[in-house]
Chains A and B, each alone.
Chain A
Amino acid sequence: MDALLSNLPQVLDGFWSTIRLTVMSAICSLILGTVLATMRVAPTPVLRGAGTFYVNALRNTPLTLVLLFCSLGISNVLQLNFSDEPSMNGYWFAILGLSAYTSAFVCEAIRSGINTVPLGQAEAARAVGLTFLQSLRLIILPQAFRRVVGPLGSVLVALTKNTTVVIVAGYTEAAFVMNEMIYEGSGTVGIFLGFALGFVILTLPTGFFFTWLAKRLAVGQ
């Protein structure tokens, strides 16, 4: 525990990086996930096929591999970079990898929500002359989102914990600080427990908040 206290600035810095990464990736994956879900229920077969392919490919690929592809594949081999500043570059590649991966899960959560909206709603929307996108935006998605708040919360908690492997994309966060402290030989169990506690502090309120939100937004059928 002494090691944690004497290195407190680095530890807090690490967790701040984790939070920055989680929030930005959550936003990006929510947007991308919604687009993917739209594609998967679209009337156009090509869009449906592309969406299905993307989700199945990303959902069944290990996250480390996705991130490694971002850093070694896109950044290193293809030489496509976000920024000349290494820390900024790593940050955006970590977000790219995490949101590419997480959006597949977000998409599936939203799609399951869409499936719970009674078919009559979509038929009624068509009957009053709304287009596909209009009915999705005005009728289907608002109802679907209310029903998947809980599952989306689980995805966000998983995302928070998934940030611990982004070192391969070139970004340092809490887990990197922990590895370094363990390497420098200042004890193992205390440091480990301290960082585990840090993640619990991040994820537990998230879980509670989403449970509360899901209850609040629930609509009686």
Chain B
Amino acid sequence: MQPRRIGALVAVAALTASLAACGGGETTYASVVDKAKGAKKLVIGVKFDQPALGLKKQDGTVEGFDVDVAKYVAKELGVPENAITWKETISKNREPFIQQGQVDLVFATYSILPERKEKVTFGGPYIVAHQDIMVRGDDAAITKVEDLKDKRICQASGSNSYKRITDPPPNGKDIKSQLVPAGTYAECVERLKGKTLDAVTTDDLILAGFAGQGGGTFKILGTPFTDEKYGVGMKKDDKATCNAVNAAITKMYQDGTAQSLAKKWFGSAQGLQLPTAAPAFEGC
């Protein structure tokens, strides 16, 4: 028993030491803007599984509209592309990651919502998505939201887009659709292809990514019925960073980068309206 106990003590001591090492060591900055200026590097949270927005490729690099916007904003803050550390943020862990400082900025299809504003500050929005409906390319039976009655729509885990259809007003449209649960939107799209469901409904930019991947297999109806303002998440009350991010987004739209990026990533999907000017900012 004795050697084993000593071993356990050593292990505990090593753990404490490594935890302590995490706490200290690096200089702490008052804001992300200061960190970008001082350390010349940033940790940015993006999605790793969202085609055309934030997608990790086989070779380990990330690509997508969110990623390109993040690169542009980082450059404006004084951080070159190769000094960015990409970190996966999924819908559930965006707030905790920001609050704990695991990421400096989040560009991850992050809709600006009042309840989220209580926990984090948002720069932007840098683009406004709208909830829309995607169906199989040869499906003529569904042309508008109301047609979803009695149709099978996808209920993806960790998303509440389906509630905009099935919930009573003001939350939704009180349309009685049949819900088909699935783990992710990628699974929803697989099932749409296999005809075990009839429509996938969520933000049009997310749908555009899948539609682009599938060639002509799917079509987006082009009947937007909500506004989802994609913002840049950062620590609460980091006003300096928020203002700097907003300035970068304004510049990105003025020099035409934003429009060409939107065209590059979402241009191939039908039924999508691409932005021409910067969306109205929420204010920091």
Number of interface residues of B (CB under 8 A): 28
Evaluate whether A170 and B182 lie within 8 angstroms (CB atoms) in the complex, with A183-B158, A184-B160 already known.
yes
Evaluate whether A183 and B160 lie within 8 angstroms (CB atoms) in the complex, with A170-B180, A176-B181 already known.
yes
Which A-chain residue is minimally distant from B152 (CB atoms)? Answer: A86
Within 8 A of A (CB), among B160-205: 160, 178-183, 187, 190-191, 193-197
Give B190-228 as 1s and 0s: 1 = Cβ < 8 Å from A's Cβ atoms: 110111110000000000000000000000000000000
Which of B113, B159, B181, B191 has its CB near the most chain A CB atoms (within 10 A)? B181
How near does chain B come to A182, taking the closest CB pair, in angstroms? 5
Any A CB within 8 A of the CB of B57: no
Any B CB within 8 A of the CB of A79: yes
Which of A79, A85, A86 has its CB near the most chain B CB atoms (within 10 A)? A86
Which of A71, A182, A188 has its CB near the most chain B CB atoms (within 10 A)? A71
Contact of B178 with A86 in the complex, beta carbons under 8 Å: yes
Any B CB within 8 A of the CB of A172: yes
Contact of B160 with A167 in the complex, beta carbons under 8 Å: no
Give the contacting residue for A172; candidates B91, B181, B197; CB below 8 A: B181
Which A-chain residue is minimally distant from B156 (CB atoms)? Answer: A167
Any A CB within 8 A of the CB of B157: yes
Across the interface, which residues of B come within 8 angstroms of A77, CB to CB?
194
Give the contacting residue for A185; candidates B115, B152, B157, B179; CB below 8 A: B115
Number of interface residues of A (CB under 8 A): 25
Any A CB within 8 A of the CB of B144: no
Contact of B194 with A185 in the complex, beta carbons under 8 Å: no
Contact of B194 with A87 in the complex, beta carbons under 8 Å: no
Contact of B194 with A76 in the complex, beta carbons under 8 Å: yes
Give the contacting residue for B116; candidates A172, A176, A185; CB below 8 A: A185
Evaluate whether A90 and B183 lie within 8 angstroms (CB atoms) in the complex, with A72-B190, A76-B194, A172-B155 already known.
no
Across the interface, which residues of B come within 8 angstroms of A188, CB to CB?
96
Any A CB within 8 A of the CB of B92: yes
Name the 4 nearest CB pairs between A and B, nearest first: A76-B194, A168-B183, A86-B180, A185-B115
11 pairs, CB–CB < 8 Å, chain A vs chain B: A71-B182, A72-B194, A75-B196, A76-B190, A86-B197, A167-B182, A179-B158, A180-B157, A180-B158, A183-B92, A185-B116
Any A CB within 8 A of the CB of B95: yes
Expressed in whole angstroms, the Cα–Cα distance for A176 and B179 within the complex equals: 13
Across the interface, which residues of B come within 8 angstroms of A72, CB to CB?
187, 190-191, 194
Give B17-46 as 1s and 0s: 1 = Cβ < 8 Å from A's Cβ atoms: 000000000000000000000000000000
Across the interface, which residues of B come within 8 angstroms of A179, CB to CB?
92, 157-158
Which B-chain residue is minimally distant from A165 (CB atoms)? Answer: B183
Evaluate whether A79 and B194 lie within 8 angstroms (CB atoms) in the complex, with A180-B158, A182-B92 already known.
yes
Expressed in whole angstroms, the Cα–Cα distance for A180 and B116 within the complex equals: 15
Which A-chain residue is minimally distant from B192 (CB atoms)? Answer: A76
Which of A76, A87, A171, A176 has its CB near the most chain B CB atoms (within 10 A)? A76
Contact of A171 with B92 in the complex, beta carbons under 8 Å: no
Which of B96, B157, B196 has its CB near the most chain A CB atoms (within 10 A)? B196
